[in-house]
Amino acid sequence: MRIFVSGASGNVGKTLVRTIMKLDWPELVGGWCKETGEDLGELAGIGTIGIKATDDLKAGIEASNPDIVIDFSATPVLPGNLRLYAEKSLNAVIGTTGLTDEDLAPFVKEVKEKGLRWAVIPNYGLGITLVMDFIKKVRGYYPYISIIDRHFPGMANAPSGTAASLAKASSGGEAQVASKEVYPGVLGAKISDIPVFSQRMPWPGPYSEHEVLLGRQDEIIRISVQDHTSDIYMDGVFLTVKKLPKMAPGTFVRELSDIIEAN
Ligand SMILES: NC(=O)c1ccc[n+]([C@@H]2O[C@H](COP(=O)([O-])OP(=O)(O)OC[C@H]3O[C@@H](n4cnc5c(N)ncnc54)[C@H](O)[C@@H]3O)[C@@H](O)[C@H]2O)c1
């Protein structure tokens, strides 16, 4: 399978390049990023591989003739990139975040009309996806729930997008606690009625943690997912790259769970 990587010099992009070069079934045919003319292997820290980066996405795609594109670039450039993938009738695995359902609606229509297959998934992390599925399954039995996200102090947003997604996916039937908030916010910010806490500490190295506590009478389940590098997205991304082309034409996937469950 011929793969083109958009955002090839980024944190995730470099990991994608290293992973493709390690696997025996996909072939890296090109990459788009700001470092035009530089070798993609050099950028990824694995030495020269003889494939140069380009900052001209259209020319890069036309020259390399990929079967599928993987995009982990940046929110402002994403709409233009998506337009080009649709024009070129490419199947696409998109990790870049920041577009709303309304922004994506015209692309959903075009993917359907053209019989393409796209995945635009906000979190390719296998661990957090499986935990989310578990929470959806057991939530009805556990009226108490609390979500904590732990990140480094420079983290752009609080809570993390993942913590907000976890809260939205868990909404409904939250038990009320009797405690009165003596200080505002001490019981957590409420997202879809679910209390969410963000803690920012100088954890060593790249670090992201999501902890979920579920409670019912006399029982607490405590789940913690701790992620340390962009490698944690690779299983989810390449499972998608493998399964997506076998899915029905016009498929537009929004959750990794749908890929996990697909044959
Ligand atoms: N879906 C997921 O599971 C998931 C996981 C991690 C990150 N992300 C998202 O993926 C995106 C990339 O994350 P990152 O941490 O790798 O970002 P990054 O800033 O490290 O990398 C961005 C890449 O895009 C390229 N790029 C940006 N603007 C460009 C332009 N105008 N021309 C050419 N190249 C351009 C950069 O050169 C770089 O290669 C972000 O939107 C992030 O939120 C999603």
- Minimum-distance ligand 1 atom for the alpha carbon of 125: 3
- Minimum-distance ligand 1 atom for the alpha carbon of 121: 1
| Dist. CA 203–CA 208, nearest whole Å | 9
> Ligand 1 centre from 194 Cα, in Å?
30
- Among protein residues, the one whose CA lies closest to atom 34 of ligand 1: 33
What confidence tens digit (pLDDT) does each residue in 71-88 have?
Answer: 999 999 999 999 999 999
Question: What pLDDT sits at residue 259?
Answer: 97
What confidence tens digit (pLDDT) does each residue in 10-28 have?
Answer: 999 999 999 999 999 999 9
- Tell me which CATH homologous superfamily contains domain 126-228: Dihydrodipicolinate Reductase; domain 2 (3.30.360.10)
Question: What pLDDT sits at residue 171?
Answer: 87
| Preceding amide of 79 cis, omega within 30 | no
| Dist. CA 92–CA 101, nearest whole Å | 17
Tokens coding 206: 């790249």
Mean pLDDT score, 123-131:
94
Res 125 pLDDT > 90? yes
- The runs of H, that is alpha helices, within 139-179 are 161-170
- Report which DSSP code applies to 160: -
Question: What pLDDT sits at residue 52?
Answer: 98
pTM for the model stands at 0.91
What are the residue boundaries of the structural domains of the chain, listed by start? 2-120+231-261, 126-228
> Ligand 1 centre from 78 Cα, in Å?
10
Ligand 1 cavity residues, CB under 6 Å: 7-13, 32-34, 55, 72-75, 77, 95-98, 121-125, 233
> Ligand 1 centre from 234 Cα, in Å?
15
Question: What pLDDT sits at residue 209?
Answer: 96
> Ligand 1 centre from 15 Cα, in Å?
12
CATH for 2-120+231-261, among 3.30.70.360, 1.10.4190.10, 3.40.50.720, 3.10.20.90?
A: 3.40.50.720
Helix (H) or strand (E) holding 43: helix 40-44
Question: What pLDDT sits at residue 219?
Answer: 98
Query: For residues 241 and 218, is the Cβ–Cβ distance under 8 A?
Result: no
Question: If pLDDT is split at 50, 70 and 90, which confidence band does 206 have?
Answer: confident
Mean pLDDT score, 128-137:
93
Question: If pLDDT is split at 50, 70 and 90, which confidence band does 108 have?
Answer: very high
